[in-house]
Amino acid sequence: MKLDELAGVGKSSADRFAELGIHTPLDLLNDFPFRYDDLRVVTPAAELAKNDGVEENAIGTIVWVRERRARRLAIVEAELADESGSLTAKWFGRSYLMGALRQGMRLFVRGRTQRTPTGAVMNVAIHKVLAENETYRGELVPIYPAGKELTSRKIRQVVAKNLPKLLTLAGEEPLPKTILRARHVPELREAYRSMHAPASPEESARARERFIFTEFLALALAAQMKRRKHSAEHNARALRVPAGLLEELQRALPFPLTAAQRRVIGEIWQDMARDSAMNRLLQGDVGSGKTLVAAAAILLAARNGVQSALMAPTEILAAQHAAKLSPLLMPFGVAVEAVFGSQSAKARASAVVRLGSGEAAVAVGTHALLTEGVDFARLGLAIIDEQHRFGVEQRARLRSKGSAPHTLHMTATPIPRTLAQSVYADLDLSIIDELPPGRSPIETFTLRRSRLERAYEFVRKNVALGRQAYIVAPVIDESEFELTSVVAESERLQKTIFPELKLGLLHGRMPAREKEDVMQRFARDELQVLVATTVVEVGVDVPNASVMVVLDAQRYGLSQLHQLRGRVGRGAAQSYCLLIAPDEALEIERLQILANSNDGFEIAEEDLRLRGPGEFAGTAQSGLARFRIADLVRDIEVYRDAKAAAESIIEEDPELRAPGHAGLRSLIEGEPSARAMLLSS
Ligand code: ADP
Ligand code: MG
Q: Is 57 touching ligand 1 by the criterion CB < 6 Å?
A: no
Q: Which ligand is nearest to the CA of 562?
A: 1
Percent of the chain's residues with pLDDT above 90: 63
Task: Say if ligand 1 is within 6 A of residue 325 CB.
Answer: no
- 620 pLDDT higher than 50: no
> Does the beta carbon of 289 sit less than 6 angstroms from any atom of ligand 1?
yes
Is this prediction's pTM over 0.85? no
Highest mean pLDDT range out of 224-228, 475-479, 481-485, 523-527?
A: 523-527
Dist. CA 282–CA 386, nearest whole Å:
10
Better pLDDT: 585 or 587 = 587
Residue 525 has a pLDDT of 94
Which pLDDT score is estimated for 621? 44
The protein residue with its alpha carbon nearest to ligand 1, atom 6, reads: 289
* CATH superfamily for domain 443-597: P-loop containing nucleotide triphosphate hydrolases (3.40.50.300)
Binding site membership of 436 for ligand 1 (Cβ less than 6 Å) = yes
Gap from CA of 140 to ligand 2 centroid (Å): 54
> Phi then psi for 59, rounded to 5 degrees?
-130, 135
Instruction: Give the pLDDT of residue 86.
Output: 94
Q: Do domains 245-273+287-411 and 443-597 have the same CATH topology?
A: yes
Amino acid at 339: V
- CA–CA separation, 369 vs 308, rounded Å? 12
Average pLDDT (203-208) is 95
Pairing, β 73-81 against β 55-70: antiparallel
Residue 674's pLDDT band, with cuts at 50, 70 and 90, is confident
pLDDT value for 630: 85
In angstroms, the CA 25 to CA 28 distance is 5
Query: What is the average pLDDT value for the chain, to the nearest integer?
Result: 90
Residue with the larger pLDDT of the pair 394 and 633: 394
User: What are the boundaries of each domain within the chain?
Assistant: 41-138, 245-273+287-411, 443-597
Q: Sort strands 119-130 and 106-116 into parallel, antiparallel or unpaired.
A: antiparallel
Nearest CA to ligand 1 atom 5: 289
286 CA closest ligand 1 atom index: 4
pLDDT at 519: 87
- CA–CA dist 142, 448 (Å, integer): 44
C-alpha closest to that of 33 among 149, 160, 124:
160
Residue nearest to atom 9 of ligand 1 (CA): 289
Question: What are the residues whose beta carbon lies below 5 Å from ligand 2 (ion)?
Answer: 291
Percent of the chain scoring above 70 in pLDDT: 97
Ligand 1 site, residue 288, Cβ cutoff 6 A: yes
Record: fold of 245-273+287-411:
Rossmann fold (3.40.50)
Q: What gap in Å lies between CA 139 and CA 153, rounded to an integer? A: 15
Q: Atom 10, ligand 1: which residue's CA is nearest?
A: 287
Query: For ligand 1, is residue 617 a contact (CB within 6 Å)?
Result: no
Does the structure show a pLDDT above 90 at 70?
A: no
pLDDT(623) > 80? no
Instruction: List pLDDT tens digits, range 458-473.
Output: 999 999 999 999 999 9
| Pocket flag, ligand 1, residue 539 (CB < 6 Å) | no
Average the pLDDT over 338-342 and give the result. Answer: 90
User: 41-138 has which CATH code?
Assistant: 2.40.50.140
Q: pLDDT digits over 294-338, tens only?
A: 999 999 999 999 999 999 988 888 988 999 999 999 999 999 999
CB of 422 closer than 6 angstroms to any ligand 1 atom:
no
- Find the mean pLDDT for residues 493-506: 95
Residues 486 and 478: beta-carbon distance below 8 Å? no
- Name the burial class of residue 241, with classes exposed (0-12), middle (13-18) and buried (19+) by CB atoms within 10 angstroms of its CB: middle
Ligand nearest to the CA of 539: 2
- Per-residue pLDDT, averaged over 508-512, amounts to 87
